[in-house]
Amino acid sequence: VVADPLDIQYKDMTMHDINTIFQVTMGTKDFRSVCTSMNVADKITFICYKKTFSIQCIGDICTIEKIFYEDKNTLKLHVAEKYKDTIVSSTYVLKYIQMFSKATHLCQFLDLIIATIPGDDRNLLVVKYDVANLGHLTFMLSPIVEKD
């Protein structure tokens, strides 16, 4: 069972309040195409291990996984030293990620950041677009929280 977003207690945060686990800089077209092709389920999982980043969606009918490898031109991956040899995996609600992907027309590249909030062990997703001379457009999403 997925928690209702209206039931979650919100806290005002800035980018300085989070501890980055890994950051992926990728093309917005790649991100948009992956998000639109993964409409077979309700959840999407981001997985990072060493120099590999993958996006996985497991549905009733099939499983879709797109694996990206670090490349200087298309994908840049930065992993915090503490997590270099650790598999980092976080699952989010796909419909919110798809809403975030609608901003891909504003720029060529985006940053996907998985981070933790001090005092909380859940991995926060930050989707950050650098929009020309206008500044940054940043979306933050909490992972799926299972109700007991």
At 4-45, the pLDDT tens digits run 666 666 565 555 567 888 999 998 988 888 888 888 888 999
Assigned token pair, 108: 């060529």
Average pLDDT (94-105) is 89
Distance from C-alpha of 11 to C-alpha of 119, rounded to nearest angstrom: 13
Strand order across the beta sheet in which 123-131 lies: 75-79, 19-27, 109-116, 123-131, 135-141
Predicted confidence band of residue 83 (pLDDT cuts 50, 70, 90): confident
Residue-wise pLDDT for 37-82, tens only, equals 888 888 999 999 888 899 999 878 888 899 988 887 778 888 888 8
Predicted confidence band of residue 123 (pLDDT cuts 50, 70, 90): confident
Q: What is the pLDDT of residue 4?
A: 66
